[in-house]
Chain A
Amino acid sequence: MTVTSLAEGRPAFARARRRRRVPTAWIPYLFLAPALIWYAAFLVYPMLQSLYISFFDWDGLSPTMTFVGLKNYIDIFMSDEVARLALWNNILWTLGALVLPTAIGLMLALALNRRVPGSTLFRTIFYSPAVLPLVAVGLIWAWVYNPNFGVVNTTLKAVGLRTWAAGWLSSYELALPATFVTFVWSHVGFPMIFYLAGLQAISKEYYEAATIDGANAFQRFRHVTLPGLTETHVIVLSLAVINGFKVFDLVYTMTYGGPGRSTQVLGTWMYFQTFQYYHAGYGSALAWVIAAIVLVIAIPYIRRMSR
């Protein structure tokens, strides 16, 4: 009774606020709770469940699962020729992604950074493929590569290189490189804008100082520009590798893993195994191989970003 009467003696608003006040130490966690719960429930938990499934022989539908230990993982590396080919294709793809879009993007950024007329328009053009759905990109390029009516073969025939005309996406040797060209077309924009931002962050004074010291254009590039872009290199190259192992949409829409299985990558092979052949256990093991590779490669990137 005494307590109540004491409380009644206070102004009404103070009472109301006192009742609502949460212990200060909880506040950050309350703000974090929705994101943490959502992220844990729909990203982390499925990921761990996938790890669990990867130790079983399971079709993804029936209630019975047979524990097989590490067999799925051993099969990936020992007996599944397609998985090994897919891993190799991912490695080739990633090596290509480290060099080609990155180098072209850097050159474009260096050019656009020099106040060429129309540089905003050029930037828009080179970046625009990157905002398209990759399914559309794949279909656009399937048309570009069309053996009878596509631009590539039409152009080759027009300039007298009829013998070079090919079924780009139906050839065992050419399908993967042809798909990769599409990837370059659609992804050059990322390194380009990252390098542009990086270049604009380098102080003009360094260039002036280098010029006064008698450095020529190449020396300025070598000793001012490149070191100034170190941070950007980490981001751009990490993203190239991470995305190189995640590749799925383009291969799925352009070649469907074919001809034969020549363009399978881990991402598509995982999809085929799990959702076409109903080898959910094996598919989950494949998915975890991708995840393990990407997470390890991403460590420097994540450390850089957490600063």
Chain B
Amino acid sequence: MFADVRNQRRLEQTLLFISLLVLSLIWLTPFATVVMSAIRSQGDLLSRGVFSWPKAIAWKNFSEAWHTGDFSIYFRNSLFLIFIKVPLGIFIAALAAYPLAKMRFRFSGAIFIFFLAGLAVPVQVTLQPLLVMMKQLGIANSIFALIPPYVAFGLPFQIFVLRGFFRLIPSELLEAARLDGASEWTAFLRVMLPLSVPALATLCIIDVLNTWNEFLIALVLISAKESRTVPVGLLQFQGEYSSQYTLLMAGILISIIPVIVIFIFLQRYFVAGLTSGAVKG
């Protein structure tokens, strides 16, 4: 009887594994066709189809796409944006999350909900005024125009996650620092932040991906080529080379390789961060 149960369990596991395998192959197909199209010549692709093995690997598609698509400009802009936006935004969020997690004061609940409501605000409802504002500030069409809205739209989620994490840190540690004469500022900087490195790192990864991927704000606030970010630049590239399939696919791969690499190597932190607070721990 036990053998029966074990066999049935093994059969179930096998069927499950096969279904997952089939489904994951379907899930990978779009990636595979992009790769298979990007590494061959256009003639080879059009005459023999996307499923055939390339006659010769055309690595030059990548260098050609990189140069003709001006991806170096877009990469530089996106990276610059990430290096300023991510630390700045997370630091401001951490500052705000600290009193929300560890202090009792009037309106703390209302302020927290005020921030959380931002999770539901569609970007569209701020675009036209932001465009006017950036023109008035004289930074329209510059990469700096993206920093204010990116930081603002990042705050709700970051404050939410950090508040949750800070609350888990024992208040006794802060108490001890205060008894040693530390100000709240020192307690925050020397006790709270170092103990929160896991949460801060996770938020950094998520924020790097979001900043790299953001499209609509960048599309509206920036029209000059020198200031475009990767998604806007990629779409521009598609517009110019829409029938040069192999080149276009190489360009798509160039623009997604950084996020794929980050995701594959750092996914453990990433996934934990996304679901944090979603489930009662």
Contact A194–B151 (Cβ < 8 Å) = no
Which of B59-67, B121-129, B168-176, B194-202 contacts the other chain? B121-129
Contact A42–B49 (Cβ < 8 Å) = no
* B2 interface contact, C-beta 8 A: no
Please indicate the chain A residues that have their CB under 8 angstroms from the CB of B49 in the complex.
149, 154
Q: Given A34-B92, A34-B95, A111-B19, 6 other A-B contacts at CB below 8 A?
A: A39-B152, A53-B128, A146-B245, A149-B49, A287-B127, A298-B117
Chain B interfacial positions (CB closer than 8 Å to A): 13, 16-17, 19-20, 23-24, 27-31, 33-34, 37, 45-46, 49-51, 92-93, 95-96, 98-100, 103, 105, 108-109, 111-113, 115-133, 148-149, 151-153, 155, 159-160, 181, 183-184, 188, 209, 212-213, 215-216, 220, 230-232, 234-235, 238, 245, 248-249, 252, 255-256, 259-260, 262-264, 267, 270-271, 274-275, 277-281
Q: How many A-B residue pairs have CB under 8 A?
A: 285
Contact B112–A306 (Cβ < 8 Å) = yes
Please indicate the chain A residues that have their CB under 8 angstroms from the CB of B155 in the complex.
35, 38-39, 43
Tally A residues with Cβ within 8 Å of B: 95
Please indicate the chain A residues that have their CB under 8 angstroms from the CB of B270 in the complex.
131
Contact A42–B130 (Cβ < 8 Å) = yes
* A89 interface contact, C-beta 8 A: no
User: Given contacts A124-B264, A274-B128, are A197 and B30 in contact (CB under 8 A)?
Assistant: no
* A28 interface contact, C-beta 8 A: yes
B12 to chain A, nearest CB (A): 8
Contact B151–A131 (Cβ < 8 Å) = no
Residue of B nearest to A202 (CB): B279
* A170 interface contact, C-beta 8 A: no
Contact A124–B119 (Cβ < 8 Å) = no
1/0 contact string of A246-262 vs chain B (CB within 8 Å) = 10110011000000000
Please indicate the chain A residues that have their CB under 8 angstroms from the CB of B20 in the complex.
108, 111-112, 116, 118-119, 122
Contact B27–A43 (Cβ < 8 Å) = no
Contact A284–B128 (Cβ < 8 Å) = yes
Contact A125–B212 (Cβ < 8 Å) = no
Please indicate the chain B residues that have their CB under 8 angstroms from the CB of A141 in the complex.
30
In whole angstroms, what is the CA distance A236 to B61 when docked? 41
In whole angstroms, what is the CA distance A287 to B278 when docked? 28
Contact B30–A136 (Cβ < 8 Å) = no
Please indicate the chain B residues that have their CB under 8 angstroms from the CB of A124 in the complex.
263-264, 267
Please indicate the chain A residues that have their CB under 8 angstroms from the CB of B115 in the complex.
35, 39
Residue of B nearest to A124 (CB): B267
